[in-house]
Structure 1
Amino acid sequence: MPRNTGSGAATEHLVRVTHPFHPLSGRQLLCVGERYNRSGRRLLLRIDDKSYCSVPPKWTDMSEPDPEISVGRERALFTVSDLMDLALLVRRLSCRRAGIGT
């Protein structure tokens, strides 16, 4: 049977939440659909009979492997993007502490 985006049954599969700070991290949940919003693609996960949550695929085991991590044979602790975000955060906090506007 061909997969159809309009059919929920065709897209249902188990997904593990892998984001370390997500409250459901480590749990395997049923993915009942996919949605798109201004932030991009989201997975709709069923928590229980009455509860659902929406998460980006990169927070699950459905994420595409990060090329930086793959090329580095998973030895890198941080990606370039992670380090750039950290540098920006340190700069903002330093400026705030010094009373300088950013």
Structure 2
Amino acid sequence: MAGGDNAAAQVFTVTHPFHPLRGQSFDLLAVRNNWGGDRVSYVGSEGRLRTLPVEWTDVHEPDLVVILGGDRACFRADLLRQLRTLIDEEADRFRTSGC
């Protein structure tokens, strides 16, 4: 959404269920990686530059795995495989340490 060359102003809506600005819309100034994650920049009601995590807005594109899974799975398969690898590595380390 933020990457287009549209002349019209782009607008985003706060979607986080517990944020006090939920449901309010703002003009999108930019989407940038700040504070360790992607954030949307906008001008708040007091006229100051503000940012929010992109995941708290409708700018965030939902994970395709979550969409296709239809909330039927609690965990992603790729992340479960990573966890299994870590567990196996720790088990091997425990066995070889003689404890």
TM over 0.5: yes
Give the RMSD, CA atoms, in angstroms: 3.0
Q: Cα gap change, 1:80/1:53 in structure 2, threshold over 3 Å: closer, same or farther?
A: farther
- TM-score w.r.t. the length of structure 2 is 0.56
Q: Relative contact order, CA 8 A, sep 6+: which one is greater?
A: 2
> What is the alpha-carbon distance in structure 1 between the residues aligned to residue 16 and residue 65 of structure 2?
18
Gaps of 5+ in 2: 77-99
The aligned residue for residue 62 of structure 2 is: 65
Q: Which amino acid aligns with 2:23?
A: G
Identity of counterpart residues, as a percentage?
Answer: 30
How many residues end up aligned between the 2 structures? 73
Gaps of 5+ in 1: 4-8, 82-102
- Report the Cα offset of residue 10 of structure 1: 5.8
- TM-score w.r.t. the length of structure 1 is 0.54
The aligned residue for residue 79 of structure 2 is: none
Structure number, greater radius of gyration:
2
1:1-102 equivalences under 5 Å are: 3=5, 12-48=9-45, 50-73=47-70, 76=71, 79-80=74-75
